[in-house]
Structure 1
């Protein structure tokens, strides 16, 4: 069942049930059912992300792990999980239930994590803008190498673009987490982008990629801070609501960790490749499986600097390196074999650029949607807590 169908069915069920509840005993039983169903939805959705080829829709092309389209699915999953979590937590519920121990500690910790997630959304939007820049530089090389007849001037222009692109992708700058390596390639020019933070207004002119992120901000440290005290409730704290909050906290941290691993973000040195998820939980296997796959890619590629693990960026890097080596060996007139090899690589690079051109802007829009959804949900939870405080306040 698609994520949106999961969500509409689940939310409808909760809405109807809340109106029919007559006793606290029945309420408790239904809460446990809601928790079980919520965890099942998480397990199923992330299992599909782990093995997209198992989708029931045979006509949909398989999305590669960490590709633009795969990240778009990940954000859809997050939005569905977030909506269901909020419905179970506060829809038709006595607000006093979410202000009692251990919720009086766990919910503020969750709200602190989502504030940090907002910072990551901003940083990732800036990172997408740098990816779009790499795409434009690759398009310069494609345009030069597709020129007919191909002359020495076209080859030199393409080589400058490709060398600049490869240098920008592979350079690791520990001081800025990769932003300087991106800015080194600005010699080819750049149109005004939308890399400004979401909370700011639209930009009508060029701004440095580091403008919207503080110089001492670290994506790796942000993820580390979000995962602090992220432990499953035990003993007297293992109530239904405590478990619900823990599950959602884990999803928030996990999704933000994937975004930071995939998209260029400031200061990712030391980004953890493992997040604590108890293996015995029903939804854990799919998250652990994704963690292991992404962690292997992170260690194998050693992309701790500017480029990230975005599948399209990895492909652009590989094709650009191949083309640099190829144009270095050019002697005019070109041999038919070398010309054919170059045409094949250029066609692949052009196709990758088209995918990025079609997918990056919608992905940026999705991240903004995640940002604003988190803000709204945080406000609604704070309002519920405020209402609970008024109810429990002693009469004067």
Structure 2
């Protein structure tokens, strides 16, 4: 019996439905492939940050060798590489999250909760960038003091006047390094003029201003311009704490489970973890207001491939934090660790100085001065580009936040009930 028109219509609907299912399967497979590739890229980038000859634990429990890297852990060169890694991860994250996606996904659980949490962490990270800028300016001050000592001790012969001048500069440097963290970065004047972050509203509370995630904020918006202008005339309040900012960023940072672990929740969690890790590392290394206590580890699951190099880095940096865990400790940046060590040794020389200096002692002092010269050179060459990268990081986060808010605005308009 030939098919009737109704039968033909029914078969056509079946065929269309089958094509839709196939299309959904293809899209789902493509999404899984993108997520897997994103995780691999993040893992590979952080793998390059590991110190030379560091073993990398694999998901099977075995250890694999990592590629040697010339940058010393926690050095300026290493931090410049770390910030490059973050910027690369952030660009790929936006591509995975936004490009070709149905915007309505952002209004459904769990993204409707995870995205605002991520944007909150971004705002806190902007303030940390602010504090890091202060810290870099403080390191510049230490570099100038070290250079004064170098200029004095390079004179030949070394006489008492040269030694006194070097001792004064080095004592000032060491005193600044051991000052209570609350006072280290509260500098009016020139340092305040270099601030570009979002400043606090009103009083001295440690919490950042409330953020309306349904409101679009871009680089050129009046809100950002007003906040940036306001920040140029004021510094952090004394109650602001870098360590508390890190702790707040870690709140609710939980790995997705079940079906969420294969959806868009995973890249949001991944990027939040990378953001917290980068900020935690910067706070640990660069002198910041109230940074003591920031050595708490970020809880990262070991079953995800991209967490392995981050966990190993965190453990190594945590070991350095424990060595220097004391009130008012200097940051873990490799260059300022060397300055502190050499400055203490040269102060001891100055306190026991007798003219003329013996040949063996003169050689020892000359070697220490040369070490200080090399560190001053590294600071002179590296601090400027590092500060520019922190600035770029700041503005990139502002732009990315605005782009996500744009998508959320679209979702809000779609979900708005239209009255007829």
1:23 partner SS? helix
Answering whether residue 400 of structure 2 is matched by residue 377 of structure 1, we say: yes
Q: Aligned-pair distance for 1:141? A: 0.3
Query: Unaligned stretches of 5+ in structure 2?
Result: 1-21, 54-64, 199-223, 225-231
Query: Which residue is equivalent to 1:140?
Result: 148
Distance (whole Å) between structure 2 residues aligned to residue 340 and residue 364 of structure 1:
36
Q: Equivalents in 1 of 2:394, 2:294: separation in Å?
A: 22
CA RMSD of aligned residues (A): 2.4
Aligned to 2:264, the other structure's residue is in SS state helix
TM-score (norm 1): 0.84
Q: Distance in 1 between matches of 2:384 and 2:370?
A: 22
Equivalent position of 1:167 in the other structure: 175
Q: Does 1:357 align with 2:355?
A: no
Q: Which residue number in structure 2 is paired with residue 9 of structure 1?
A: none
Match for residue 94 of structure 1 among 88, 97, 102: 102
In the alignment, does 2:301 pair up with 1:278? Answer: yes
The Cα shift of 1:337 comes to 1.2
Q: Identify which of 178, 185, 188 aligns with 2:184.
A: 178
Counterpart check, 1:104 vs 2:112: yes
Q: How does 1:233-244 map to 2 (within 5 A)?
A: 233-244=256-267
State yes or no: 1:123 paired with 2:131.
yes
TM-aligned CA deviation for residue 167 of structure 1:
1.9
CA deviation map 1:109-146 (0-9, x unaligned): 00000010000001101111001111110000000111
Equivalent residue for 1:198, pick from 193, 196, 199? 196
Q: Which residue of 1 aligns with 2:328?
A: 305
Q: Counterparts of 1:210 and 1:285 in 2: how far apart (Å)?
A: 43
Give 2:340's aligned residue.
317
Report what 1:31 is aligned to.
31
Query: Matched residues in 1 for 2:81 and 2:288: separation?
Result: 20
TM-score (norm 2): 0.80
Counterpart selection for 1:68 from 67, 76, 86:
76
Task: Give how far 1:303 is off.
Answer: 5.1
Question: What do the CA deviations read for 1:280-304 (whole angstroms, capped 9, x no partner)?
Answer: 1111111111111111101112255
Residue-pair matches, total: 355
Q: Aligned-pair distance for 1:251?
A: 0.5
Bigger drift between 255-264 and 385-394 goes to 385-394
Unaligned runs of 5+ in 1: 1-21, 202-208
Q: Measured at CA, do residues 145 and 132 of structure 1 come closer, stay the same or move farther in structure 2, by a change above 3 Å?
A: same
Identify which range, 262-271 or 302-311, moves more after superposition.
302-311
Cα deviation digits, residues 73-98 of structure 1 (max 9, x gap)? 00000000000001110012221122
Residues 1:254 and 2:277 are matched in the alignment: yes
Distance 2:193 2:321 in 1: 25
The alpha-carbon deviation at position 51 of structure 1 amounts to: 3.1
* Shift of residue 23, structure 1, vs aligned partner: 3.1
> Structure 1 pair 72/55, CA: closer, same or farther in 2 (3 Å)?
farther
Shift of 1:309: 0.3
Distance of 1:326 and 1:126 partners within structure 2: 32
After TM superposition, give the deviation of residue 231 of structure 1 in Å: 0.6
Q: Please identify runs of 4+ aligned residues in structure 1 that moved more than 4 A.
A: 52-56, 191-195
Aligned to 2:236: 213
Give the C-alpha shift of residue 262 in structure 1. Answer: 0.5
Question: Highest Rg: 1 or 2?
Answer: 2
Distance 1:357 1:40, change over 3 A: same
Deviations 1:8-34 (A, max 9, x none): xxxxxxxxxxxxxx9332221111111
Counterparts of residues 147-166 of structure 1 (less than 5 Å): 147-166=155-174
Going from structure 1 to structure 2, the CA distance change for 1:236 and 1:177 (only over 3 Å counts) comes to farther
- SS of structure 2 residue aligned to 1:238: helix
Counterpart Cα distance in 1 of 2:375 and 2:283:
21
